[in-house]
Amino acid sequence: MKLRLSKCKINFALLLFALAAMVYPLRAQAPLIEVAAAVDKSVITIGDRVTYTLKITHKRGLEVNDPGKGSNLGMFEIKDYVVYDSVTAGERVVQQFDYVISVYDTGRFVIPPFPVAFLPTDTSSKYQIITSQPLEIYVKSVVNDPNAQIHDIRPPSGIPADYLRLALMIGSLLLGLAALGFAYWMYRRSKQGQPVFRREPPRPAHEIALAELQKLLQSGLLAAGEYKLFYSELSDIARRYMERRFYVNAMEETTTEILASLNEASLSPDQVELTREMLTACDLVKFAKYVPGSAETETAVQLVQEFIERTRPVFEPAGVEVQSEK
């Protein structure tokens, strides 16, 4: 009986040893991705700036979406955004992002967990989300005495009456001389048969829109991560073009109302569909807080440019019309 109990104990010990040997490599293996957040100070006064650091450590080759400047940090306003070069150590990659933030109220505030999207495997097409830990910051008032009172602003110093009267007299004299000079200039131009004001012919709507589009692409908004502002201006360029080209109230109308107005303006179904795709792409970023990729941004710009090119007026040379009449 004692021999049987000893054999059972030995077998049980061997079983525990085997399980420990199987579990240890799993526990020792590093996770695919880790997200850590930290602040340089947790107690501040109103308006002080805090550096919020987000550090992402992941396996080399793992596809991770970089957090953008327009991230949600609760009540805190983002003042600056710094992206550091990633550091590779063996099979691990470390990425660091710093947000300089501030808040203009007192009390305890919580920076919510920061979400980071990643693809868990090379064959997966669905992103997963991992979040950092929340952080608490206490904001103190700059006023130490709770019973302190704010004093009234001192009244402005008055200008002596003599100087005020002299300034009015000199200003009136200069204004009168300027008016006489302008009247004489107008008289001379009218006597010479020249128009008083030279009017330049209005620029075509498509030229104005294409110039505005080029200026937007060179503005640097995309490089600064200002996607919402970029798409808002892109939508306004298209809407202003529609107002000048088709005389619709595009700046005040919704996308659905604009499409109805363009149908009445005798646009082809293909042009109306192109308009719908263009405005929908802009609205998705403006109102749904969607962060687009570089390919999507390039497609949106191409849609606006294609819409302008396909709806611009085309004038045939006079010689062509004369030949067609013959």
CATH code assigned at 116: 2.60.40.740
Asked if residue 103 is part of any domain, the answer here is yes
- 125 and 220 part of one domain: no
- Backbone φ and ψ for 154, nearest 5 degrees, come out as -65, 140
250, 261 in Cβ contact below 8 A?
Answer: yes
Query: What tokens appear for 151 in the block?
Result: 């004093």
Q: Is pLDDT of 290 > 50? A: yes
270: enclosing H helix or E strand: helix 269-288
Q: Looking at residue 161, what is its pLDDT?
A: 58
| DSSP track, 224-235 | TT-HHHHHHHHH
Q: Looking at residue 206, what is its pLDDT?
A: 92
- When mean pLDDT is compared over 13-17, 75-79, 122-126, the highest value belongs to 75-79
Rounded percentage of the chain residues whose pLDDT exceeds 70: 79
In whole angstroms, give the CA distance from residue 244 to residue 253.
15
Per the rule left: phi > 0, alpha: psi between -120 and 50, beta: everything else, 90 is left
SS3 98: strand
Q: Looking at residue 326, what is its pLDDT?
A: 35
149, 52 in Cβ contact below 8 A?
Answer: no
Asked if residue 110 is part of any domain, the answer here is yes
In whole angstroms, give the CA distance from residue 17 to residue 15.
5
What's the whole-model pTM score?
A: 0.39
SS3 134: coil
Mean pLDDT of the region 154-177: 79
Supply the DSSP symbol for 143: -
Asked if residue 257 is part of any domain, the answer here is yes
In whole angstroms, give the CA distance from residue 127 to residue 116.
10
Least confident of 3-12, 86-95, 252-261, 281-290: 3-12
Q: Is pLDDT of 55 > 90? A: yes
Q: Looking at residue 202, what is its pLDDT?
A: 83
Mean pLDDT of the region 94-122: 89
Q: Looking at residue 24, what is its pLDDT?
A: 44
41: enclosing H helix or E strand: none
Asked if residue 111 is part of any domain, the answer here is yes
Asked if residue 188 is part of any domain, the answer here is no
Q: How far from chain centre, in Å, is Cα 262?
A: 29
Task: From 122, 140, 158, give the residue that closes a domain.
Answer: 140
Asked if residue 262 is part of any domain, the answer here is yes
Task: From 109, 140, 171, give the residue that closes a domain.
Answer: 140
pLDDT band for position 119 (cuts 50, 70, 90)? confident
Mean pLDDT of the region 14-42: 70
In whole angstroms, give the CA distance from residue 111 to residue 74.
6
Could you give the angle at which helices 205-217 and 294-311 cross, rounded to 10 degrees? 170
DSSP E strands in the chain: the ranges are: 33-39, 43-45, 50-59, 77-83, 87-89, 92-102, 107-111, 115-118, 128-131, 135-140
Asked if residue 197 is part of any domain, the answer here is no
Q: Looking at residue 160, what is its pLDDT?
A: 57
- Domain extent for 272: 205-311
- Backbone φ and ψ for 145, nearest 5 degrees, come out as -90, 115
Q: How far from chain centre, in Å, is Cα 21?
A: 52
In whole angstroms, give the CA distance from residue 154 to residue 156.
7
DSSP E strands in 103-237: the ranges are: 107-111, 115-118, 128-131, 135-140
Mean pLDDT of the region 112-135: 84
Q: Chain-wide mean pLDDT for the chain? A: 81
Task: From 118, 140, 162, give the residue that closes a domain.
Answer: 140
Tally of domains within the chain: 2
Asked if residue 49 is part of any domain, the answer here is yes
Amino acid at 155: P
- 136 and 56 part of one domain: yes
